Amino acid sequence: MDKKVAKLLEEQINKELYSAYLYLDFSNFCKHKGLDGFANWYEVQAKEEMDHAILFVKYLQNNNQAVALSAIAKPDVKPKTVMDVLKAGLKHEEYVTSLIHTIYGAAKAVDDFRTTQFLDWFVKEQGEEEVNANDLVSKMELFGSDPRSLYLLDNELKARVYSAPSLVL
Q: Taking a C-beta distance cutoff of 8 angstroms, is the pair 38, 154 a contact?
A: yes
Average pLDDT over residues 9-34: 98
In the DSSP assignment, the letter for residue 7 is H
Determine phi and psi for 76, rounding to 5 degrees.
-105, 5
Confidence of residue 66 (pLDDT cuts 50, 70, 90): very high
Across the chain, what does the average pLDDT equal? 96
Q: How far apart are CA 84 and CA 142, in angstroms?
A: 15
Q: Which of 51, 88, 3 is nearest to 162 (CA)?
A: 51
How far is it, in rounded angstroms, from Cα 94 to Cα 77? 15
pLDDT confidence band for 3 (50 / 70 / 90)? very high
Please give the DSSP secondary-structure letter assigned to residue 74.
Answer: P
Report whether pLDDT(168) > 80. no
Q: What is the pLDDT of residue 165?
A: 78
- In Å, the largest CA–CA distance within the chain is 54
Q: Is the pLDDT of residue 166 over 80?
A: no
Give the residue among 110, 106, 102, 156 at the shortest CA–CA distance from 126: 102
Mean pLDDT over residues 90-118, rounded?
Answer: 98
pLDDT for residue 39 is more than 70: yes
Task: Give me the mean pLDDT over the 77-93 stretch.
Answer: 97
Helix axes 113-143, 36-62, angle to 10 degrees: 170
Q: Is 111 left (phi over 0), alpha (psi -120 to 50) or beta?
A: left
> pTM of the predicted model, to two decimals?
0.94
> Which pLDDT value is given to residue 167?
66
Average pLDDT over residues 14-42: 98
